[in-house]
A and B are shown apart, each in its own frame.
Chain A
């Protein structure tokens, strides 16, 4: 499983865009990049998944450069309720095991 590195924490204010970059230098050809969000005392919630270029859904965008050695999760116009831990995972979608790091704690202030 490819190792990922992401910042431990980030602070932001309501209405701003938050960008979290994840490094995954050893990403394999079949690997996808998946992001989860976790609130205290809850299970991780799937946000977005991508393989290359850009993926967008109603919650976030995921930007993946051509070399795929990093990726950036973009949360537009955050609110207080976006305060959470965000995890970047890299792996083959057929893999049975998900490997979580410590994640990035995003704190949104009023």
Chain B
């Protein structure tokens, strides 16, 4: 148990619907990341927060994607108007200094 919690673990949604995922990082970790992983590939960086500030967004993060981290604690990742290409594992990680710890991920399937 790494201490990073993600909810839900699995989500099946119809194309065009909105979905929201939650990540609870390890409590003292001020850095929080979102990654996306498709089958057979390594995780790809989506966005990064330091405390409540979103400091970088990958170009993979289209305008349908939005992430927040109110009060520098938990974070949410919302995907609007989901497409089949959004089907992937969405991973959250947190870090304070040396090592990033990942959650179990949320598996999104868009049908």
Contact = CB atoms under 8 A, between A and B. Distances in A.
Nearest to A100: B42
Contacts, number: 59
B2 A96 contact: no
Contacts of B104: 42-43
A1 to B, nearest CB: 10
Interface residues of A, number: 21
A64 to B, nearest CB: 16
B63 to A, nearest CB: 21
Given A43-B102, A46-B99, A99-B45, 17 more contacts: A32-B98, A34-B99, A41-B89, A41-B105, A41-B107, A42-B104, A43-B91, A43-B103, A93-B99, A96-B33, A97-B33, A97-B48, A97-B56, A98-B100, A100-B44, A102-B41, A103-B42
Contact of B2 (A34, A45, A49, A102): A45
11 contacts: A41-B107, A43-B6, A43-B103, A43-B104, A44-B91, A44-B102, A46-B101, A87-B42, A93-B99, A96-B55, A98-B33
